[in-house]
Amino acid sequence: MNLLTLFRPLALLILLASALALCSAPAFAQTEDEPAGGEIALETDAPSDAAIAQRIATIFDEIDTLSAVEITVEAGVVTLTGQTVTADAANRAETLALRVEGVVTVENRIGRDVSVATRVAPAVGELETTVQDLVRVLPLLALAVLVFMALSLLGWLLSRWDGLWRVLTPNRFVAELVGSTVFGLFVVFGLVSALNLLDATAFLGALLGAAGVIGLAVGFAVKDTIENYIASIMLSVRQPFRPNDHVVIDGQEGRVIRLTSRATVLMTLEGNHLRLPNALVFKAVILNYTRNPERRFDFVLGVDPEDDPLSAIETGLGALKSLTFVMTEPDPSAGIREVGDSTINLFFAGWIDQTQSDFMKSRSVAIATVKAALDAAGFTLPDPTYRLRIDSGALPAASPSVKTPARTAKPPSAPAKPELADATDVAPDTSLAERVEEERREVKSGDLLSEDAPSE
């Protein structure tokens, strides 16, 4: 027995299996190509052509875009004719027809209706429907508008109730801020209530989301303005200064005219307007000369190194105490500041009441009075002395036999009573303060400062 005889049955078996696979492939393909979705059951048990046509017609009659489609059925083959407005409607008709039980295939011969009347009629119908819906919703819309306006009016009336907010918050600016906040809350509450009546909560969510995004963007854009506004609130509550106070803010000196929602306005000692951002003022070092009416002045005078500095201090201090505008409590003080190359620098200080005496005038009179007293007592206020040494021998050397007599210390003498001190005008200069008050009277609005509010 050869190998061909052994493998002949095996080859026949392989050919038979291949033939069976080819015959069964169309069946599998047909199974895979079955349309998706469930079948629509017929009203009758028999899948006749009339029943199929009746079922498809009943379905198409319920759809406005397919009501003009005509159906014919022959041996399970459905032929669709007529016209639709859009190609999607024709495709939809074919899909629905294929789902009906007993339909073998569908011949789609539906054309598109391009007439003007057909195109305009749906738009007119939609407009009429919209108008009818609007007419039906008008009472509800009127009620929503009425609720919104009522709540907004109530919030506005509450925000204008200054007496209530002044009792709750003594600061006028904070009272106005609270009133505005209450009004805004009532407006938002009215808007939410109106949208709830109209069943437009989805629109409300979108509106709040858009408002949040816009608020974030605006906040970054006006960061400096918001910072100044918050600083204005804090300054109006804390009141580190009052109107017409003489202050130094961040090295800028002047009298306070007003505090606005953005800046602090000063009048400099030269009479000029100076605007400082409130954010800078809130963080700056503030020196207030007006808060404490008692103020100390001081100055330095130099005497000859050969003079007795203690006697000079006693003489100058006596002259300082003799001035009527110098306060006796606290007492004037004096001392040795330093020993220089050609002078001994003496320090003098005294206190004045700024409501009765001008600082610059009083200090000037005090310096002139002490200097005159030291001169009258024989003390020397020398000029700076410089010693030059020349090694070339061009100038003759001083004779060793000549001796400079030593100076003797002067005994302390009674201070000379200043004759012009009492006659000198040291009254406060009120011209700048009067200009500030005049401007404050002219512009009363927008000032956040109050003379009656508590101050730090």
Q: Domain containing 304 — which CATH number?
A: 3.30.70.100
* Residues 367/342, Cβ–Cβ less than 8 Å: no
Cβ 423 vs Cβ 230: under 8 Å: no
271, part of any domain:
yes
In a domain, 99, yes or no: yes
Say if 22 falls within a structural domain: no
My answer on whether 186 and 72 are in the same domain is no
Is 456 among the domain residues?
Answer: no
Q: Do residue 98 and residue 151 come from a single domain? A: no
pLDDT, residue 16, reads 56
Say which residue, 362 or 161, is predicted with more confidence.
362
Same domain as 164, residue 257:
no
**Domain of residue 173, residue span:** 135-221
Residue 89 pLDDT more than 60? yes
CATH classification at residue 70: 3.30.1340.30
168 with 216, same domain: the answer is: yes
As a whole number of angstroms, the distance between CA 13 and CA 17 comes to 6
Q: Tell me, yes or no, whether 282 and 330 share the same domain.
A: no
* 73 plus 100 within the same structural domain: yes
258/166 same-domain check: no
DSSP-assigned beta bridge partners for residue 264: 259, 276
96 and 59 Cβ atoms separated by less than 8 Å:
yes
44 pLDDT above the threshold of 70: no
What's 59-126 look like in SS3?
Answer: HHHCCHHHCCCEEEEECCEEEEECEECCHHHHHHHHHHHHCECCCCEEEECCEECCCHHHHHHHHHHH
84 falls within a domain = yes
Q: Write down the residue that tokens 């070339």 correspond to.
A: 392
Beta strands in 292-402 (DSSP E): 294-303, 333-339, 344-353
More confident residue, 384 or 225: 225
CB within 8 Å of 300: residues ≥ 6 apart: 337, 345, 346, 347, 348
Burial class (CB in 10 A: 0-12, 13-18, 19+), 254: buried
Q: Residue 84, by phi and psi: left (phi above 0), alpha (psi -120 to 50) or beta? A: beta
Tokens, residue 58: 């009943």
Comparing CA positions, the residue from 131, 135, 142, 136 lying closest to residue 197 is 142
CB 432 within 8 A of CB 269: yes
In this predicted structure, the answer to whether residue 415 has a pLDDT above a threshold of 70 is no
Q: Are 154 and 55 members of one domain? A: no
Task: Decide which of 217 and 144 is more confident.
Answer: 144
State how far the Cα of 56 lies from the Cα of 249, in Å rounded to an integer.
90
Helix axes 87-98, 49-61, angle to 10 degrees: 140
Phi/psi zone of residue 446: left (φ > 0), alpha (ψ -120 to 50 degrees), beta?
left
Answer with the residue of higher pLDDT: 416 or 84.
84
What is the model's pLDDT at position 422? 52
Considering the domain architecture, whether residues 330 and 416 belong to the same structural domain is answered as yes
Q: Nearest-5° angle of CA 334, CA 335, CA 339?
A: 145
Q: Note whether 79 and 144 are same-domain residues.
A: no
The domain spanning residue 272 has which CATH number?
2.30.30.60
Q: Which of 76-80, 366-370, 440-444 has the lowest average pLDDT?
A: 440-444
This prediction's pTM: 0.55
Give a yes or no: residue 378 inside a domain.
yes
Strands (DSSP E) along 104-260, which ranges?
Answer: 105-108, 111-112, 246-249, 252-259
Last residue of one domain, picked from the residues 221, 256, 281:
221
With bands split at pLDDT 50, 70 and 90, how would you rate the model's confidence at 409?
very low
Q: Are 335 and 348 in contact (CB under 8 A)?
A: no
How far CA 408 is from CA of 189, 253, 281, 379, 401, in Å, comes to 93, 48, 58, 12, 21
299 with 375, same domain: the answer is: yes
280 inside domain: yes
Mean pLDDT within 165-174: 68
Q: Which has the higher per-residue pLDDT, 188 or 371?
A: 371
Share of the chain above pLDDT 90, in %: 23
Q: How, if at all, do strands 263-267 and 273-277 pair? A: antiparallel
pLDDT on residue 363: 94
More confident residue, 101 or 286: 286
- How many domains does the structure of the chain reveal? 4
**Token digits for 189?**
């509450």
pLDDT (mean) for 423-436: 84
248 and 361 assigned to the same domain: no
**What's the confidence (pLDDT) of residue 401?**
41
182 located within any domain: yes
**Res. 406: pLDDT tops 50:** no
Task: Single out the residue of 292, 355, 303, 282 nearest to residue 325, CA to CA.
Answer: 355
Residue with the larger pLDDT of the pair 6 and 61: 61
For the chain, give the mean pLDDT. 78
pLDDT over 70, % of the chain: 74
